[in-house]
Amino acid sequence: MRFEFADCTVDLDGLQLRRGGVRVHLEPQVFDVLVYLLIHRDRVVPKAELLQKVWGDQFVSESALTSRIMAARRAVHDDGRGQRIIRTSFGRGYQFVAEVRESASDSTPAVTPGPVTVTGTGTGTVEQDIRFCRTPDGTRIAYAIAGRGPLLVKAANWMTHVDYDAENKVWRHWVGDLSRTFTLVRYDERGCGMSDWNVDRIDFEAWVDDLLVVVDELGLQRFPLLGVSQGAAVAVAFAARYPERVSALVLYGSYARGRMSRAASPEARQEAALDVELARVGWARDDPSFRQVFSSQFLPDGSREEWAAFDELQRRTVSPANAVAFLETFAGIDVTDAATRVSCPTLILHARDDHRVPLSAARELAALIPGSRFVPLAGRNHLLTAAEPAWPLFLDELSRFLAPLDGADQHSRRG
């Protein structure tokens, strides 16, 4: 089904909005709010109904709905003053009021991309294609392809946004610099970023399965796999389960066991539980002072601008309920058995004084993976920043490690 109004087209089958013929990238909740108002444009939709239909059982404040309405208005070139397309019925809800034409969707595939220009720490630009695919349980997964070099797939990790990462100081050098050397494929995990937030499952097995869906969607048969933080555990599990698909592993900020799994004392278990409780209380209040605790753990040597960028990344990429679900799942991760079954060449890099994941956790993982190479890097940041000396060293180690791979393993067939 396709809806046309003003200079906009909403394609339900393609899960996309176009304005003036140009693809407009929307977060899942913004798109869902817009579509629900479109479908029910014959009436004023109460706020409570929108909250229930879009977020389900997740507890979110009314301000979350207001921000999605504002984003939907901006996307269709409307605003709160004009209200030419989405009208506020004060004290009641919202109604879609523009004239709409309905038609059947054309044959354009849902993964047809629109280019987005992104920059890294060096000069020049790369284009990335943002696309969507669906998992067997119906979850939309957003993924992006950037660069023109040999293939590199990055397993998803917490707090990413395939569109916003291109401009946010936390991830933009990862996107830009890796894309200048590789054809970089990355995606937002379920419950995060541009992928669906309102999902029935947020668990480790689902994350491994979602990686398979993305690479199958692109027709990738064999590829090197990069894992960062909890994404490294996903990459390890995937490589052990599908050894014929992974030509090499590169892991950064990694661990075999999550905080609760490796907690060896009551104090360590209390600390791991406090991590979850902080998210439960802090995110629900939308209070940046709570989120700054995570900023200081992930980027202890970050600048004020990088802390602010990390705080904004937290706010944009995950709901309070999902933040808690993620942290609970991370804490229980245990890939010790899978690690012993990894058969591909593996490079493990880790900051010596990582403030979030201790070096000992990465060293344990390196000891489990047969023949792995372990490279400690100077620094305390769990996520490498563009300015620290460890970043170019990381890029150099990664490039030299992957350079000897057979060209057939680097082949990328685009869907």
The domain locations on the chain are 2-103, 115-410
pLDDT at 111: 35
Pairwise CA distance, residues 210 & 390, whole Å: 31
pLDDT value of residue 287: 62
pLDDT value at residue 264? 78
- If DSSP codes are grouped into helix, strand and coil, which group holds residue 263? coil
pLDDT surpassing 90 at residue 88: yes
At 365, the pLDDT band (50, 70, 90 cuts) reads: very high
**Domain pair 2-103 / 115-410, same fold:** no
Between helix 62-75 and helix 28-39 the angle, nearest 10°, is: 80
* 116 has pLDDT over 60: no
For Cα atoms 192, 194, 195, give the angle at the middle one, nearest 5 degrees: 65
Spell out the residues 6+ positions from residue 146 whose beta carbon is closer than 8 angstroms to its own.
118, 126, 127, 128, 129, 175, 179, 183, 184
Q: Other C-beta atoms within 10 Å of 244: how many?
A: 9
The two three-digit tokens of residue 8, written as one number: 């906009």
Band (415; pLDDT cuts 50, 70, 90) = very low
Q: Which residues contact 42 (CB under 8 A, 6 or more apart)?
A: none
Q: Which pLDDT value is given to residue 99?
A: 93
CATH topology of domain 115-410: Rossmann fold (3.40.50)
- Collapse the DSSP code of 249 into the 3-class scheme (helix H, G, I; strand E, B; otherwise coil) and give the result: strand
Whether the pLDDT of residue 129 is over 90: the answer is no
- Quickly state the pLDDT bin for 115 (edges 50, 70, 90): very low
Q: What is the pLDDT of residue 57?
A: 61
Domain 2-103 falls under CATH 1.10.10.10: yes
Greater model confidence, 269 or 10: 10
Of residues 282, 108, 113, 135, the one with CA closest to residue 196: 135
Burial class (CB in 10 A: 0-12, 13-18, 19+), 210: buried
pLDDT of 45: 93
Question: Residue holding tokens 């523009």?
Answer: 98
Stated pTM of the model:
0.72
Phi, psi of 331 (to 5 degrees): -60, -30
**Mean pLDDT, range 216-229, rounded to an integer:** 94
- Work out the number of other CB atoms within 10 angstroms of the CB of residue 367: 14
DSSP strands (E only) in 204-263: 223-228, 246-252
Confidence of residue 58 (pLDDT cuts 50, 70, 90): low
Give the pLDDT of residue 340.
98
> Please, what is the average pLDDT of the chain?
86
What counts of helices (H) and strands (E) characterise the chain?
14, 17
The mean pLDDT of 187-204, rounded to a whole number, is: 92
Q: What pLDDT shows up at residue 113?
A: 37
The CA distances from residue 68 to 13, 90, 165, 193, 368, in Å, are: 21, 17, 19, 14, 45
Please write the tens of the pLDDT for every residue from 135-186. Answer: 999 999 999 999 888 999 999 998 999 988 988 899 999 999 999 899 999 9
For the segment 252-290, what is each residue's pLDDT rounded down to a tens digit?
Answer: 999 999 988 887 788 878 877 777 777 777 666 666 676
Report the C-alpha gap between 210 and 196 in whole angstroms. 12
